[in-house]
């Protein structure tokens, strides 16, 4: 991809609305701050992001299973987890503009000392509602502010039923809700959003297997430790593995998951230099965390948290054990030894923030083509391919229709028979469709079709019978586009 001009978050939001990715929720009534609806392309993209995340975090692994917990649950979960008491934001008001926003506990003192602001008070961002027809204390419930707690509450059941052994993980993708004081910056800070979370459990003081550590040896990132921040130093690029060896990252497991999380973004086409790992200061950590490294991304608004990667210790299981009076210890050998597992790492990623990252990475205005090209990875693109008959006539449309029907058994396919071929290409480039297949005279005579590559506009001709197999290999990245068939001269780019 050529050097690209970065766009603002507002420009991205406008593009997403114009193309059918994301709209302000119920815009016909003026929308509602912090709530968004995904359109016909957006829903495909988020489903593909979730699928790609689930594949790497659950399906590819021997040690992780998933669950899908309810959004509303017994409120004692949130009392035990500490959210009712400790999950608070401080509301700060800008005296001049009247604008309100939230700050974390560790930032409050500096705002109190600054004449320009008033610290108005604390606020718990959990949404509440009532179960049953009667409002009242006994019926008060919360919309979950994180998905993690249903993993902890169900830990014992899942561990035993899935016959897990430490170390192991439980993953979940689902909605979370926070009544943010100032939702802003498109999907970055929403009131309703989705999280993709993994709780990874180990027996205390056990090491990360060397084959896991070998996997991450080459992954590097700009690191910003607590100490470097205190000294106002800039981030330093280093191998995550080396950072662990030097004791900069305390735990091997933490280094492993940090590298895996970054690696996931890189494997889907993101640029490494846009990421950094920043350690939380002592007073910045959440109430449950032992150590936290945020995977940050350079958003158009600046460096911001993309994903929190926290060591939660045994805080949550211990709390639930104490409050529920159920045992959460598990066997670790045949001699009957039991331990309370520790959550050595919790990668917690907001789907909306991942969506923004993939869109920003993909978006390019190509001056030569005078068009926006969305260079989405084929695994994420809403449509894998577009199919266009380029010669008018029933027999061409019939053939194209049959090809579409067959390809749809496996791929997401867009059929488009209207407009000039150039317009059809351009429309699909803007939607991020990586491949477009054209049906012409030779398709009837020689049973071949052309495939066009979105990024280079190069074309190859392949046998119709082989289209499915070729597409499968192209999406998996198993073959280079040029090797997918016989090169043909490109007339319309």
Which of these segments, 3-11, 17-25, 348-356, 415-423, binds ligand ATP (CB under 6 A)? 348-356
Tell me if residue 402 falls in helix, strand or coil.
helix
d(CA 90, CA 181): 9
Q: What are phi and psi of 85, to 5 degrees?
A: -90, -45
Residue 475 touching ligand ATP (CB under 6 A): no
What residue number has its CB nearest to ligand ATP? Answer: 350
Touching ligand ATP, residues 296-325 (CB under 6 A) = 305-308
In the bound complex, what is the minimum distance in angstroms from residue 117's beta carbon to ligand ATP? 18
Q: Which helix (H) or strand (E) holds 296?
A: strand 291-299
Pick the closer one to ligand ATP by CB: 155 or 186.
186
Which of these segments, 187-195, 258-266, 400-408, 436-444, binds ligand ATP (CB under 6 A)? 187-195
Q: Residue 262's Cα: distance from chain center in Å? A: 11
How many residues does the structure list for the chain? 493
Touching ligand ATP, residues 350-369 (CB under 6 A) = 350, 352-353
In the bound complex, what is the minimum distance in angstroms from residue 273's beta carbon to ligand ATP? 20
Place of tokens 């006539």: 393
Q: What is the DSSP letter of 131?
A: S
387 within 8 A of 437, measured Cβ to Cβ: yes
Residues contacting residue 330 through CB under 8 Å, at least 6 positions apart: 156, 159, 166, 338, 339, 341
d(CA 465, CA 243): 51
Pick the closer one to ligand ATP by CB: 174 or 386.
174
Which of these segments, 61-69, 73-81, 185-193, 233-241, binds ligand ATP (CB under 6 A)? 185-193
Binding residue for ligand ATP, selected from 19, 83, 144, 189, defined by CB under 6 A: 189
In the bound complex, what is the minimum distance in angstroms from residue 297's beta carbon to ligand ATP? 10
d(CA 461, CA 450): 4
Residue 83 touching ligand ATP (CB under 6 A): no
What is the maximal distance between C-alpha atoms in the chain? 80
In the bound complex, what is the minimum distance in angstroms from residue 311's beta carbon to ligand ATP? 13
Pick the closer one to ligand ATP by CB: 307 or 364.
307
The string of DSSP codes covering 28-85 is: GGT--TT-EEE-TTHHHHHHHHHHHHHIIIIIT-SSEEE----SB--THHHHHTTHHH
Residue 347 touching ligand ATP (CB under 6 A): no
Which of these segments, 53-61, 165-173, 262-270, 343-351, binds ligand ATP (CB under 6 A)? 343-351
Residue 13 touching ligand ATP (CB under 6 A): no
Pick the closer one to ligand ATP by CB: 222 or 431.
222
Residue 349 touching ligand ATP (CB under 6 A): yes
Which of these segments, 36-44, 48-56, 188-196, 325-333, binds ligand ATP (CB under 6 A)? 188-196
Binding residue for ligand ATP, selected from 19, 83, 144, 178, defined by CB under 6 A: 178
The pair of structure tokens assigned to 145 is: 């502010």
In the bound complex, what is the minimum distance in angstroms from residue 348's beta carbon to ligand ATP? 4
Residue 12 touching ligand ATP (CB under 6 A): no
Residue 348 touching ligand ATP (CB under 6 A): yes
Q: Residue 373's Cα: distance from chain center in Å? A: 21
User: For residue 269, which of 195, 373, 360 has the smallest C-alpha distance?
Assistant: 360
In the bound complex, what is the minimum distance in angstroms from residue 260's beta carbon to ligand ATP? 16
Pick the closer one to ligand ATP by CB: 216 or 306.
306
d(CA 145, CA 78): 9
Sign of the C-alpha dihedral, residues 482, 484, 488, 490?
negative
The string of DSSP codes covering 3-19 is: ------HHHHHHHHHHH
Q: What residues make contact with ligand ATP under the rule CB under 6 A?
A: 178, 180, 189-190, 193, 195, 305-308, 348-350, 352-353
């Amino acid at each position: 991809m050529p050097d690209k001009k970065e766009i603002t978050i507002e420009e991205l939001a406008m593009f997403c609305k114009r193309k059918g990715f994301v709209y302000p929720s119920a815009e016909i009534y003026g929308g509602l701050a912090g709530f968004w609806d995904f359109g016909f392309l957006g829903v495909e993209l988020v489903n593909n992001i979730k699928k790609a995340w689930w594949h790497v975090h659950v399906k590819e692994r021997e040690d992780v299973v998933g669950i899908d917990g309810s959004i509303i649950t017994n409120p004692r979960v949130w009392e035990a987890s500490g959210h009712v008491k400790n999950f608070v934001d401080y509301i700060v008001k800008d005296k001049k503009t009247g604008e309100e926003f939230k700050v974390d506990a560790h930032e409050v003192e500096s705002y109190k000392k600054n004449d320009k602001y008033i610290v108005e008070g604390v606020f718990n961002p959990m949404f509440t509602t009532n179960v049953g027809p009667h409002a009242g204390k006994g019926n008060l419930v919360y919309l979950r502010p994180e998905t993690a707690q249903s993993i902890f509450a169900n830990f014992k059941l899942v561990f035993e039923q899935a016959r897990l052994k430490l170390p192991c993980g439980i993953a979940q993708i689902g909605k979370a809700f926070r009544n943010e004081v100032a939702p802003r910056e498109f999907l970055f800070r929403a009131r309703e959003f989705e999280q993709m979370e993994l709780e990874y459990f180990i027996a205390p003081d056990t090491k990360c297997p060397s084959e896991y550590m070998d996997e991450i040896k080459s992954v590097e990132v700009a690191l910003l430790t607590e100490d470097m921040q205190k000294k106002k130093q800039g981030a330093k690029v280093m191998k995550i593995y080396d950072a662990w060896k030097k004791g900069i990252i305390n735990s091997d497991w933490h280094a492993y998951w940090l590298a895996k999380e970054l690696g996931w973004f890189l494997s889907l086409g993101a640029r490494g230099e846009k990421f950094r790992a920043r350690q939380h200061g002592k007073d910045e950590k959440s109430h449950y965390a032992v150590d936290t490294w945020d995977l940050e991304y350079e958003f158009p608004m600046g460096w911001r948290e993309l994903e929190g990667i926290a060591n939660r210790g045994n805080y949550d299981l211990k709390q639930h054990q104490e409050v529920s009076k159920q045992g959460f210890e598990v066997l670790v050998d045949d001699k009957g030894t039991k331990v309370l597992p520790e959550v050595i790492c919790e990668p917690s990623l907001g789907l909306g923030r991942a969506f923004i990252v993939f869109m920003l990475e993909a978006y390019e205005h190509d001056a030569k083509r005078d068009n926006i090209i969305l260079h989405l990875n084929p695994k994420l693109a809403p449509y894998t391919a577009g199919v266009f008959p380029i010669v008018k006539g029933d027999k061409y449309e019939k053939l194209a229709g049959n090809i579409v029907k067959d390809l749809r058994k496996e791929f997401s396919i867009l059929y488009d028979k209207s407009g000039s071929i150039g317009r059809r290409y351009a429309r699909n480039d803007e939607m991020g469709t990586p491949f477009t297949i054209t049906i012409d005279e030779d398709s009837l005579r020689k049973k071949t079709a052309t495939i066009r590559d979105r990024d280079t506009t190069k074309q190859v001709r392949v046998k119709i019978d082989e289209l499915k197999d070729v597409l499968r290999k192209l999406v998996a990245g198993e073959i280079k586009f040029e090797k997918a068939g016989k090169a043909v001269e490109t007339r319309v780019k």
